[in-house]
């Protein structure tokens, strides 16, 4: 099996170029990782390879061993107990936001659960094949939250990940917990007011639209609401939140 480089690649004619992915030695594993990540499309594999400079060769057998260490005895899944043990081995609190980042890399469908495919694919994406290497990656994984684009992806992922199975909306209690976790990273000054407002005035599940629009509100509206447009196309819940802030003197709007 050979990856033929696009003629656009400056190393296409150089047999020694590091981006020539051939069947020889460890490069085959790198090629397979890139192909799997791009659903076996060659062009996508090259895009993935060039956009992932941190990609490293991982030992598939080691990945299987790690999964088997944490999976349920009678199921091919890692469940709550296994996730808890993984956190112990990584020396992180289960409530640490880095576990959300890890779940995002693994494309996990459900909180505190990993299928074999999700877990092994996630470790390949992160580029680790041992708990020691995994632990060493935690600072860089946590730092991904500082990237606006990745933060948006992780934020949107969190809605589906944290939902109860079969539900379209996110329970209010869970949504508040997730917002407190996510926006603590962004130091949003209105976070406590938002959570209190929801508990006092709303007390219902949170829709995907409200979840998505709140991030836009946080990113674009200043804490004094000076640039908030009352006629804007915000969800009614955000409009009510602004009214709640002004009615209770929590924010002095500067127009």
- What does the pLDDT look like over 199-241, one tens digit per residue? 999 989 999 999 999 999 999 999 999 999 988 889 899 999 9
Say if CB 251 and CB 223 are below 8 A apart.
yes
pTM exceeds 0.85 for this model: no
Both tokens of 10, joined, read 């400056």
Tell me: pLDDT of 84 over 70: yes
List of E strands, 66-207: 77-78, 114-115
Mean pLDDT, range 87-115, rounded to an integer:
96
- Quickly count: other Cβ atoms within 10 Å of residue 8's Cβ: 7
- What percent of the chain is predicted at pLDDT more than 70? 78
Both tokens of 116, joined, read 């074999």
Both tokens of 49, joined, read 């390879």
pLDDT recorded at residue 9: 42
3-state helix, strand, coil in the chain (%, to 5): 55, 0, 40
Q: In angstroms, rounded to a whole number, what is the distance separating the alpha carbons of residues 239 and 232?
A: 9
Q: Is 224 exposed, middle or buried (0-12, 13-18, 19+ CB in 10 A)?
A: middle
Tens digits of residue pLDDT in 152-206: 999 999 999 999 988 999 999 999 999 999 998 888 999 999 999 999 999 899 9
Average pLDDT of the residues of the chain? 84
Confidence of residue 60 (pLDDT cuts 50, 70, 90): confident
Confidence of residue 34 (pLDDT cuts 50, 70, 90): low
The DSSP element (H or E) to which 160 belongs, if any, is helix 148-162
Residue closest to 49 by CA, chosen among 84, 5, 103: 5
pLDDT recorded at residue 158: 97
Length of the chain: 255
If DSSP codes are grouped into helix, strand and coil, which group holds residue 78?
strand
Mean pLDDT, range 116-139, rounded to an integer:
95
Q: In angstroms, rounded to a whole number, what is the distance separating the alpha carbons of residues 132 and 138?
A: 10
- Quickly count: other Cβ atoms within 10 Å of residue 217's Cβ: 20
Both tokens of 199, joined, read 């508990």
Of 33-47, 88-102, 132-146, 170-184, the range with the lowest mean pLDDT is: 33-47
pLDDT recorded at residue 40: 73
Residue closest to 238 by CA, chosen among 135, 93, 207: 207
Name the one residue in this structure whose structure tokens are 């459900």: 110
Q: Is 206 exposed, middle or buried (0-12, 13-18, 19+ CB in 10 A)?
A: buried
């Amino acid at each position: 099996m050979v990856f033929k480089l696009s003629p656009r690649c400056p190393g296409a004619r150089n047999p020694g170029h590091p981006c020539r992915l051939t069947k020889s030695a460890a490069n085959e594993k790198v090629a397979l990782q890139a192909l799997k990540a791009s659903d076996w499309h060659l062009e996508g594999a090259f895009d993935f390879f060039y956009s992932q400079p941190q990609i490293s060769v991982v030992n598939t057998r080691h990945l299987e061993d790690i999964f088997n260490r944490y999976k349920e005895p009678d199921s091919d899944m890692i469940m709550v107990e296994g996730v808890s043990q993984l956190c112990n081995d990584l020396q992180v609190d289960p409530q640490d936001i880095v576990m959300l980042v890890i779940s995002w890399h693994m494309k996990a469908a459900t909180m505190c659960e990993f299928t074999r495919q999700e877990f092994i694919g996630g470790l390949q994406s992160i580029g680790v094949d041992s708990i020691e290497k995994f632990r060493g990656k935690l600072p860089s994984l946590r730092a991904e939250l500082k990237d606006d684009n990745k933060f948006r992806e992780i934020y949107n992922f969190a809605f589906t990940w944290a939902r109860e199975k079969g539900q379209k909306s996110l329970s209010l209690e869970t949504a508040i917990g997730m917002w407190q976790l996510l926006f603590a990273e962004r130091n949003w000054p209105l976070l406590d007011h938002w959570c209190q407002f929801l508990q006092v005035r709303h007390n219902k599940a949170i829709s995907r639209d409200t979840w998505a629009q709140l991030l836009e509100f946080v990113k674009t509206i200043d804490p004094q609401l000076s640039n908030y447009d009352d006629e804007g196309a915000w969800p009614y819940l955000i409009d009510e939140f602004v009214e709640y802030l002004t009615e209770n003197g929590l924010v002095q709007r500067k127009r």
